[in-house]
Amino acid sequence: MEVSKEEFLRQFGGDYGYPGAPKGVDEMRAAEFKRLEGMAYLDHAGATLYSEAQMADVLKDLASNVYGNPHSQSDSSMAASDLVTAARHQVLKYFNASPREYKCIFTSGATAALKLVGECFPWSRESCYMYTMENHNSVLGIREYALSKGATVLAVDVEEGADLAKDNGSHSLYKISRRTNQRRSKDVLSHNCQNGSLSDISGNNWNIFAFPSECNFSGQKFSLSLVKLIKEGKIPLQQQGKWMVLIDAAKGCATEPPNLTVYPADFVVCSFYKIFGYPTGLGALIVKNEAANLLNKTYFSGGTVAASIADIDFVQKRKNIEQVLEDGTISFLNIASLRHGFKIIEMLTTSAIERHTTSLATYVRNKMLDLKHSNEINVCTIYGQQYSKVEGLKMGPTITFNLKREDGSWFGYREVEKLASLFGIHLRTGCFCNPGACAKYLGLSHSDLVSNFEAGHVCWDDNDIINGKPTGAVRISFGYMSTFEDAEKFLKFLQSSFVSLPVQFNNGYMLNLNSLNLIDNSSQKAVSDIHLKSITIYPVKSCQGFSVKSWPLTTGGLMYDREWLLQGSGGEILTQKKVPELGSIRTLIDLELGKLFIESPTRRDKLQLSLLESLADLSEEVDVFGQRYEVQSYDDRVNTWFSEAIGRKGDCKQKLPVDAMRFRPNLVISGSSPYSEDNWKKLRIGEACFTSMGGCNRCQMINLHQDSGQVLKSKEPLATLASYRRKKGKILFGILLNYEDIMEGENETIAGRWLQVGQQVYPSTE
């Protein structure tokens, strides 16, 4: 596992780091990506990063020039038009597409480009839309247009032959396996569908075959020779008519854009933030002239017409295909920024970027496959290359995987993602909007997918394991500024978090105390009895609490505890995870006065709220973590006070002591052995009885530390707890108690009970 950078360079030095470029990767990273210090950004498949020099050039350009709406002939409009024209040529050059044969249509992104094709393509009942299983939802979405016109839709698996290295253009190197036909037309003749495939249908119809240049799920690269083979009819698709090929290059074009001179696809889509980080919200459809002439756009708008009359049915669209397909004023300032992004790509060259990122991915992939538990069970299951029978199948700089425990069960991908964030590692989890590849590689059947949905699983949720099977995966991906240190940081994270096998407690938790500095500010001496050491009340969720010697109990537990919460202007519930500054707001309740006092280091005045005031006229319903509750709200005076009380947080790199209050407990108990509460089922404090609801799942909120009014953020103590207090994806510390306000054998609620510091505690494990 411990391989030095020198050894890595001996294996990959010819490809890693841009040895022939004006700047090497280390120099570039230090100068242009200082914001990445201390972290490893490994989600370049989601969005790569912009450089400081790139943004400085954009700012200088926009600050020095006047660019107007290009739908005019003023000087500023012509300046913008010239930049747009130059940008179109630069995009075509990037894909080695001749301006005589291709057009560049600017869109809001790859998805919008795909939607444009689906919307404007001449679908008919005789058409077929065929796409590979490994495709993004944005490609699948085109089928809605095809199906609405009665066309047949078909998903296929493309298997490349084992002799791919000797590819001479023969269709025998590819096997296409068809899935079930999809059709919505009610009057489709039965003889058109025989044995799961299509019979020949006569007529001059148009069809589309769609595939990604690189699968955004697995990183597998599809051979672009499919373009010619399909267009020339050398791969029998059992559907007559003209076949056009669409390539989704959103993922692949960042490291290996399709060469359209060699592989003349009809449609190619891309998003520029995937290539050089900025601008977002801008993409392109690169379309062959023949295909562009087929696209028929129904809607017309500003910029798309030569003439129109408001009160009669008269409109003449422009002849220029770019103007016809680009609705309204294009994003000309973003388009003006493209040249500054391409500048660094041209300096490094795409071939060098491809070699650099591939070297990192290959190194990490091999190291991951070597990871084993002590019983020789593999830790990592990697999707893509190892699932193929083709030796030497080309893979992009993407690794998608799941992790197994020593007993063969799966770690959930959300557990991996949460732990990665503690280590400063940015990655992505889920199915990445690629349901076909996800189901294929995870072995999920149609019934699995439906039952998972019925069980409540939707995209981006925390349901990562259902019925013992993963519902998604973890993905890392490298970009042009990724370094060996990023790769090594990730591998060390896997080793320390998922491979090491510490000694076990008898309660099932792993033991590895490491450097966690738990301190007891009150006493260091051992006590033989178990008693209540402290009581803390937190009236406002995520704000500071206050300690008391005694406090009354009510039906819901401790009176007034977490009875108030803050709601953002967008309706979201505010917590320290989102607004760390809440931790500097202090609270105190005076039961005799019947008032809640709130103060902040950023406000001179204290806020006072009556506990007895009725707010019935200000009641409303809010969503609190997925549940609807009727609440009472306050007026603008209170809202304004909290808005102004929120300050700023800071980052902390020093080691900070961790006391019990960091965990925001209501009750602290002394006299028992560490973690004995894990096994408690019930406990009695004085005359009050409680039932354990299980361990308390901890989040990054316990990493926030208050210091002289500043909120400091570090990765401790959660990172250390994660090393030995993980159970089924949760990091547990302390337990949740439910107050049993109705005693066994009694029918009425017991009121007037108080907890008091020093009371004896009687736990039960039965």
Q: Output the average pLDDT for the chain.
A: 86
Helical packing angle, 5-12 and 350-370, nearest 10°: 120
pLDDT in tens, 167-218: 455 555 788 888 888 988 654 433 343 333 343 434 478 999 999 999 999 9
Surface-to-core class of residue 484, CB atoms within 10 Å of its CB (0-12 exposed, 13-18 middle, 19+ buried): buried
Query: What is the DSSP secondary structure assignment for residue 738, as one 8-state letter?
Result: E
pLDDT-wise least confident of 540-554, 607-621, 749-763: 607-621
Task: Report the pLDDT value the prediction gives residue 742, as an integer from 0 to 100.
Answer: 63
433 is catalytic: yes
pLDDT-wise least confident of 514-528, 629-643, 728-742: 514-528
Cα–Cα distance between 445 and 468 in angstroms, integer?
A: 14
Residue 643 DSSP SS3: helix
**Cβ atoms of 550 and 535 closer than 8 Å:** yes
pLDDT-wise least confident of 191-200, 388-397, 417-426: 191-200
Task: Report the pLDDT value the prediction gives residue 622, as an integer from 0 to 100.
Answer: 75
DSSP secondary structure letters along 424-478: TEE-EEE-TT-HHHHHHHHT--HHHHHHHHHTT--TTSS--EETTEESSEEEEE-
In the chain, the domains with their CATH numbers are: 75-184+204-344 (3.40.640.10), 353-498 (3.90.1150.10), 534-655 (no CATH), 667-764 (no CATH)
Task: Report the pLDDT value the prediction gives residue 163, as an integer from 0 to 100.
Answer: 54
pLDDT in tens, 3-61: 588 889 999 989 999 998 999 999 999 999 999 999 999 999 999 999 999 999 999 99
Asked if the model's pLDDT at residue 649 lies above 60, the reply is no
104, 433, 438, 699: which is the annotated catalytic residue? 433
Beta bridge partners of 198: 193
Helical packing angle, 484-494 and 5-12, nearest 10°: 120
pLDDT in tens, 247-274: 999 999 999 999 999 999 999 999 999 9
